[in-house]
């Protein structure tokens, strides 16, 4: 009969092995999901499992050598087979009952592991579901939209490469005819979307009640076609790149009755202030045309370091974006860019500016101000750390850039609309504490 000490030892050892199995399955599943596209096979996990197998084997050998003076009493064949499975097996299906492989005595102590691992521990994600053929009639919200953008909105989470592949192969039909990516849809068109194997899309997390209440209070203007909202700093305009919930996702939860809510333009995550949201495709298209033609007037308030020279009223230098680093720099190879600057208030060591971007490049105001020798307060991309540390001691905890005013034409009526968002307290309070220059 197996004595109590040996029974406890083997049970602990078996439990440890089963825990290793579960950790292995979780890690490998993550690798399969995140790194299979790069051809990575999970080698570092197998190295860790191999080391664990050796530790378990040496522990058992040592226990029996001390207890019986002869490690041959352990059925080493089982251990060798276990090591071989750990070293070379890629699937993990042989790991059920791992603890009982350790020693035949363990089987007498531990009950068989009959339960299946939960679905969340499966090594491979469930197969993608195949969608049926879809026939979608173009409504007024999609009238005038390009077919590729239409498909991207209909097939959430589908890679762009797949969208353009099915267009190129002629699998997408508009009114029974082949469609090119640049083709624009008309009201009443019938679009045939072929069956596709689609991964199960992750739904964005539910926005909290406090966030929804705050956004509701921040609406500056709303009608049946659009709304203007005073976006808080720190909230991205949309999800992506590790951000699952942005402004537009929260607004869609706040206005579930709206068939369409789309961003007309964007603001950086750390920038606060006025932003336009369209409720109709025709409104979105009209406002995009106005933006391209310079008929939308956007004014920002920016607090910069130093005393801004009165002679600098315009900065016209081309900007080039580095996609990998998410940075922008002045370069002759960049796109033409133009920002107008007006001094609003001088302080001791700081200047409050009104900035008017005539073009819409990424980080345009921030880079143009830096180029003029006066970077923005709290800018962690383009301002020296020493300056940011000094301004943080004065109470500035964020990028001091605010979209203060937006003037545009209402597409339906032709009426001029001007929306203003007051400077938020996290900028206004420490700024008003500065000595005026």
Instruction: Write down the catalytic residue from 189, 268, 270, 379.
Output: 268
Cα distances from 347 to residues 170, 236, 304, 315, 343, in angstroms, run 63, 30, 10, 22, 11
Cα distances from 405 to residues 228, 275, 423, in angstroms, run 11, 9, 10
> What 3-state class would DSSP assign to 315?
strand
Distance CA(430)–CA(352), nearest Å, equals 12
Residue 193's closest CA among 168, 217, 166, 219? 166
426 belongs to the catalytic site: no
Residue 377's closest CA among 427, 331, 309, 327? 427
Residue 100's closest CA among 8, 14, 5? 14
Give me the DSSP letters along 101-144: GS-HHHHHHSPP--SPPPGGG-SSPPPPEEPPPEEEE--TTTTT
- Look-up of token digits 């933006």: 291
Contacts of 378 (CB under 8 A, 6+ apart): 270, 388, 391, 392, 396, 397, 398, 399, 400
Distance CA(397)–CA(425), nearest Å, equals 11
Annotated catalytic residues are 268
């Amino acid at each position: 009969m197996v004595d109590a000490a040996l029974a406890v030892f083997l049970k602990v050892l078996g439990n440890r092995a089963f825990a290793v199995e579960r950790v292995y399955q979780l890690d490998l599943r993550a690798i399969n999901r995140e790194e299979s596209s790069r051809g990575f096979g999970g080698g570092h996990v197998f190295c860790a499992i191999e080391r664990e197998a050796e530790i378990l084997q040496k522990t058992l050998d040592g226990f029996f050598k001390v207890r019986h003076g002869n490690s041959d009493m352990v059925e080493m064949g089982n251990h060798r087979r276990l090591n071989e499975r750990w070293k070379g097996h890629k699937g993990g299906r042989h790991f059920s009952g791992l603890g009982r492989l350790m020693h035949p005595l363990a089987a007498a102590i531990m009950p068989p592991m009959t339960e299946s691992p939960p679905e969340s521990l499966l090594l491979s994600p469930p197969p993608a579901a195949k969608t049926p053929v879809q026939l979608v009639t173009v409504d007024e919200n999609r009238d005038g939209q390009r077919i590729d953008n239409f498909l991207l909105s209909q097939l959430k989470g589908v890679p762009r490469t797949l969208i353009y592949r099915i267009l190129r192969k002629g699998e997408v039909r508009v009114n029974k005819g082949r469609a090119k990516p640049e083709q624009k849809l008309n009201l009443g068109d019938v679009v045939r979307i072929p069956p596709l194997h689609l991964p199960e899309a992750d739904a964005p997390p539910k926005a909290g009640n406090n966030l929804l209440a705050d956004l509701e209070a921040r609406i500056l203007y709303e009608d049946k076609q659009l709304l203007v909202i005073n976006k808080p700093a720190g909230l991205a305009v949309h999800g992506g790149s590790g951000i699952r919930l942005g402004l537009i996702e929260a607004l869609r939860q706040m206005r579930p009755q709206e068939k369409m809510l789309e961003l007309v333009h964007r603001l950086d995550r750390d920038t606060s202030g006025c932003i336009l949201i369209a409720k109709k495709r025709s409104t979105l298209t009209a406002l995009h045309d106005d933006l391209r033609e310079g008929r939308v007037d956007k004014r920002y308030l920016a607090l910069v370091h130093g005393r801004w020279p009165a002679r600098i009223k315009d900065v016209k230098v081309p900007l080039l974006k580095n996609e990998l680093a998410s940075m922008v720099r002045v370069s002759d190879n960049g796109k033409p860019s133009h920002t107008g600057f007006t001094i609003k208030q001088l302080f001791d060591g700081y200047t409050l500016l009104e900035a008017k971007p005539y073009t819409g490049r990424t980080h345009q105001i921030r880079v143009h101000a830096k180029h003029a020798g006066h970077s923005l307060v709290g800018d962690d991309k383009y301002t020296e750390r020493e300056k940011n540390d000094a301004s943080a001691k004065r109470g500035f905890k964020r990028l001091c850039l605010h979209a203060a005013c937006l003037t545009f034409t209402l597409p339906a009526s032709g009426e001029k609309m001007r929306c203003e968002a007051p400077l938020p307290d996290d900028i206004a309070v420490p700024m008003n504490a500065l000595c005026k220059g």
